[in-house]
Amino acid sequence: GAGVSQSPRYKVAKRGQDVALRCDPISGHVSLFWYQQALGQGPEFLTYFQNEAQLDKSGLPSDRFFAERPEGSVSTLKIQRTQQEDSAVYLCASSFGSRTDTQYFGPGTRLTVL
Amino acid sequence: GQQLNQSPQSMFIQEGEDVSMNCTSSSIFNTWLWYKQEPGEGPVLLIALYKAGELTSNGRLTAQFGITRKDSFLNISASIPSDVGIYFCAGHIIQGAQKLVFGQGTRLTINP
């Protein structure tokens, strides 16, 4: 399909391990967003890219979280030295133009840190 | 943290009943959006509102952007089993970095 895809869909990590989560946005979409959704809560903003430029990373909870989008399409969210509180669903969304355009969400990656 | 207060947190209704949920905030929003999320999926946009006072329908769904720009409601008429899911309000705050902020969600359960 032509929607946003994310991989892996599920990831189990031992505390202290590094993880990398991938997002493939809708082709041609300029803006890309990462959100963290804790169990029973709404998504919370992590970071925003316009093409390859990371314009807002104010939602990243710590310096263990790092995101990149080197060629302005696929993005990777990396979490170093994972902690139990990092367990959540990580959602990626993309929009055609600016950050206030309609965002289309992927299915998410459920991360469980043991 | 969340800046939107969404209520109710959960609803248990009979098929065919109407549903109403709302969101309020202490901040002013320049857009209000309503999303639905089903298990294992990302949120899907249902209705988008861009002007204070705007009333918009999408089939059996109706949503309004409050006059004060600090609240919105979503109504679902004649509920059917496929309406089951979690409904989120969201919006872009009028000031600052224009982040999309989400409410805590309303979990809708329908008894057939």
pLDDT digits (tens, 9 = 90+) for A50-93: 999 999 999 999 999 999 999 999 999 999 999 999 999 999 99
Cα distance between residue A77 and residue A67, in whole Å: 4
Which residues, other chains included, contact A26 with Cβ-Cβ below 8 Å and sequence gap of 6+?
A2, A3, A4, A94, A96, A104
Q: What's the pLDDT score for residue B94?
A: 72
Q: What's the pLDDT score for residue A97?
A: 87
**Omega of the bond prior to B8 within 30 degrees of 0, cis?**
yes
CA dist B4 → A21, A74, A93, B22, B54 (Å):
28, 31, 20, 10, 19
Region of poorest pLDDT, from A35-39, B6-10, B65-69, B97-101: B97-101
Cα distance between residue A28 and residue B91, in whole Å: 24
Which residues of B lie closer than 8 Å to A, measured between beta carbons?
2, 4, 6, 31, 40-45, 48, 88, 90, 92, 97-105
Which residues, other chains included, contact A104 with Cβ-Cβ below 8 Å and sequence gap of 6+?
A3, A4, A26, A29, A93, A94, A95, B45
Asked if the Cβ–Cβ distance from A106 to B42 is below 8 Å, we say yes
- pLDDT-based confidence at B96, cuts 50/70/90? low
- pLDDT-based confidence at A1, cuts 50/70/90? low
pLDDT digits (tens, 9 = 90+) for B31-88: 999 999 999 999 999 999 999 999 999 999 999 999 999 999 999 999 999 999 999 9
What value does the mean pLDDT of chain A take? 95
With beta carbons under 8 A apart, name residues in chain A contacting B102. Answer: 42-44
- pLDDT-based confidence at A4, cuts 50/70/90? very high
Which residues, other chains included, contact B45 with Cβ-Cβ below 8 Å and sequence gap of 6+?
A102, A103, A104, B33, B34, B35
With beta carbons under 8 A apart, name residues in chain A contacting B97. Answer: 56, 58
Q: What's the pLDDT score for residue A106?
A: 97
Residues in chain B: 112
Interface A-B, measured as beta-carbon pairs within 8 A, has a size of 54
CA dist A60 → A34, A54, A73, A112 (Å):
9, 12, 20, 18
The residue behind tokens 């189990």 is: A12
φ, ψ of residue B37 to 5 degrees: the values are -125, 130
Q: What's the pLDDT score for residue A101?
A: 85
What value does the mean pLDDT of chain B take? 92
In this structure, how many other beta carbons lie within 10 angstroms of the beta carbon of residue A55?
12
Distance (Å) from the alpha carbon of A36 to chain B's nearest alpha carbon: 11
Please say if the pLDDT value at position B95 is more than 80. no
Q: What's the pLDDT score for residue B3?
A: 77
Cα distance between residue B62 and residue B58, in whole Å: 6
Distance (Å) from the alpha carbon of B21 to chain A's nearest alpha carbon: 15
Asked if the Cβ–Cβ distance from A43 to B98 is below 8 Å, we say no
Which residues of A lie closer than 8 Å to B, measured between beta carbons?
4, 33, 40-45, 48, 56, 58-59, 91, 93, 99-100, 102-108
Q: What's the pLDDT score for residue A2?
A: 82
